[in-house]
Amino acid sequence: MVNCGDRPYRLNGYPVLRVLDDHREPIALRVLHGAKEITSGFDQAPRPVELHRGERATAVVFWRNLVTDPTVPAANGAYLMVAPAAGRSAESVDPDGPIDVGNTGRIGVSAWKKAESPAPSQPAMPPVPSAVPSSVSPPDGRL
């Protein structure tokens, strides 16, 4: 998430997720805050985040393709809708592949975290001077 506005944008908590199928219909999933029921890690408690213009916040979405009951069809999401908090508008986020949650009926999300500022870009280095002046031909006559 990037703050494109002129005022600080405050976050505290977890993004609100909706997973949609190929027809953009919602898939019934329980959204977990943290990773305890899916994997280890990503269980840091939410902290207030304030984003100034151009600053970013990130969250991690995770799931496991696990089939626990052969009588329940597996769910495959194609689209991910993310809102910064309950009651705020959601945006479509490209999941870069299917969201294949199996039939566990759950997906997890980490708390918002302020993204590290990207390192300032280094100025371009001037070209390295040639050891052979342009007016001198190499010994074999080829350039």
**Residues 75, 27 contacting (CB under 8 angstroms):** yes
Query: Which pLDDT belongs to residue 70?
Result: 87
pTM of the complete model:
0.74
Query: Which pLDDT belongs to residue 123?
Result: 52
Q: Is 143 helix (H, G, I), strand (E, B) or coil?
A: coil
For residue range 79-131, list pLDDT tens digits in order. Answer: 999 999 999 999 999 888 899 988 888 899 999 999 986 645 555 555 555 45
Neighbouring C-alpha atoms within 13 Å toward the C-beta of 10: 3
Q: Is 81 helix (H, G, I), strand (E, B) or coil?
A: strand
**Residues 32, 109 contacting (CB under 8 angstroms):** yes
Query: Between vectors from CA 59 to CA 84 and to CA 122, what angle results, nearest 5°?
Result: 110
For residue range 5-42, list pLDDT tens digits in order. Answer: 999 999 999 999 999 999 999 999 999 998 777 776 66
Query: Which pLDDT belongs to residue 101?
Result: 87
> Please, which residues bridge with residue 2 across strands?
56
**Residues 18, 79 contacting (CB under 8 angstroms):** no
CA 45 to chain centre: 19
